[in-house]
Amino acid sequence: MSALRNYQNVIVGFIVAAGIAIGGFFISKTLYNAKVALNTAEAKGLAERRVQANRANWSISFAVKGKSRDEIPNLYRQAEAIQKRLTALLKESGFSDEEITLGIIDYGSRQYRNEDQVLTDEDHFLNGSISIETENVHAVAPARGIVNKLISEGISITNRTPKYSFTGLNAIKPDMLREATKNARIAANEFASNAGVEVGGIRTARQGSFFIRDAGSESSDSYKIEKDVRVVTTITFFLTD
């Protein structure tokens, strides 16, 4: 019995010692983490660029209308003539064949009936479209003005608002990230000087998303040639005494 009791005491002692050791590990780990947290400072760095869109997408639609099916052949000739005229105006404005895409001329009809379902009137119409995708973004606005003059001739045209985009983000990303990091360090230095410490190396860094917005706008991103590109980085720096 004495031997058994001694064996049990040894086991209990081992468990207690292990518990103390494990507890000591977590306490030391917590103290280490707290020390690391106390010796760091988190700062955000902003970088902005004003750029110009390098691509524009613009579309024009047109329509011709008649009152009977017999007019359809003539309507089609009218639609083709408008399409050719628009194409010529676009080329005169500096756009190439590769930048101009002619849409299909579609046919549609609409019937009007009275309460007794008797046909009282009908419309037959053809709709066409032309789309332009170009890197010559500054040629779009003058060309839109020229196209709009066809309205005064009674031609039914819808001159849609062009969309401008900037596709050169990858080329400016490295410089913007360096600038954002530099600005984050400046902010950290301001904090450190007030605390009587110095900023050391980077512990962690988180890159925010790049945002492209129309110049002066917080929401739209496709209606102006001038764009603002912005990125914010969040960086944790080590602090030294």
Q: 143 and 91 in one domain?
A: yes
How far apart are the C-alpha atoms of 76 and 174, rounded to whole Å? 54
Q: 171 and 119 in one domain?
A: no
Asked whether residue 2 is assigned to any structural domain, the reply reads no
Q: 90 and 156 in one domain?
A: yes
Tokens of 232: 């914010």
**Any idea what the CATH number is for the domain that residue 237 is in?**
3.30.110.170
208: nearest Cα among 180, 187, 235, 231:
231
Tokens of 66: 């008649």
Buried b (16+ CB within 10 A) or exposed e, 46-66: ebebebebbebebbbebbbbb
Dihedral-angle region of residue 164 (phi above 0 means left; psi in -120 to 50 means alpha; beta otherwise): beta
Residue, of 217 and 191, whose pLDDT is higher = 217
Helices (H), ranges, the chain: 2-38, 72-92, 140-148, 169-195
- Quote the pLDDT of residue 120: 84
Q: 117 and 152 in one domain?
A: yes
Domain end call among 126, 142, 164: 164
Instruction: Return the percentage of the chain with pLDDT > 90, whole number.
Output: 68
When pLDDT is averaged across residues 151-174 and rounded to a whole number, the result is: 95
Q: 59 and 159 in one domain?
A: yes
Q: 222 and 184 in one domain?
A: yes
Whether residue 161 has pLDDT greater than 80: yes
Domain end call among 115, 134, 164: 164
When pLDDT is averaged across residues 37-49 and rounded to a whole number, the result is: 87
When pLDDT is averaged across residues 129-156 and rounded to a whole number, the result is: 95
Mean pLDDT across the chain, nearest whole number?
A: 85
Q: 160 and 82 in one domain?
A: yes
Domain end call among 146, 164, 182: 164
- Quote the pLDDT of residue 188: 92
How far apart are the C-alpha atoms of 103 and 147, rounded to whole Å? 17
Asked whether residue 13 is assigned to any structural domain, the reply reads no
**Any idea what the CATH number is for the domain that residue 120 is in?**
3.30.70.360
Asked whether residue 59 is assigned to any structural domain, the reply reads yes
Asked whether residue 16 is assigned to any structural domain, the reply reads no
Q: 147 and 62 in one domain?
A: yes
Look-up: residue for tokens 């839109």? 144
Q: 228 and 151 in one domain?
A: no
Segment 94-104, tens digit of pLDDT = 999 999 999 99
- Quote the pLDDT of residue 101: 98
Q: Which of 2-6, 171-175, 217-221 has the highest mean pLDDT?
A: 171-175
Residue, of 196 and 19, whose pLDDT is higher = 196
Q: 160 and 59 in one domain?
A: yes
What is the tally of structural domains in the chain?
2
Asked whether residue 7 is assigned to any structural domain, the reply reads no
Domain span at 187: 38-54+166-241
Tokens of 154: 């009674």
Q: pLDDT-derived band of residue 51, with 50, 70 and 90 as boundaries? A: very high
* β-pairing verdict for 119-134 and 100-102: antiparallel
Whether residue 1 has pLDDT greater than 70: no
Asked whether residue 11 is assigned to any structural domain, the reply reads no
User: Using an 8 Å Cβ cutoff, are 129 and 86 in contact?
Assistant: no
Q: 121 and 90 in one domain?
A: yes
Look-up: residue for tokens 């047109």? 62
How far apart are the C-alpha atoms of 47 and 175, rounded to whole Å? 9
When pLDDT is averaged across residues 98-115 and rounded to a whole number, the result is: 92
Asked whether residue 143 is assigned to any structural domain, the reply reads yes
When pLDDT is averaged across residues 126-137 and rounded to a whole number, the result is: 97
When pLDDT is averaged across residues 135-152 and rounded to a whole number, the result is: 95
Whether residue 121 has pLDDT greater than 60: yes
Q: 211 and 174 in one domain?
A: yes
Whether residue 77 has pLDDT greater than 70: yes
Tokens of 70: 């017999």
**Burial environment of residue 234 by CB neighbours within 10 A (0 to 12, 13 to 18, 19 or more):** middle
Asked whether residue 8 is assigned to any structural domain, the reply reads no
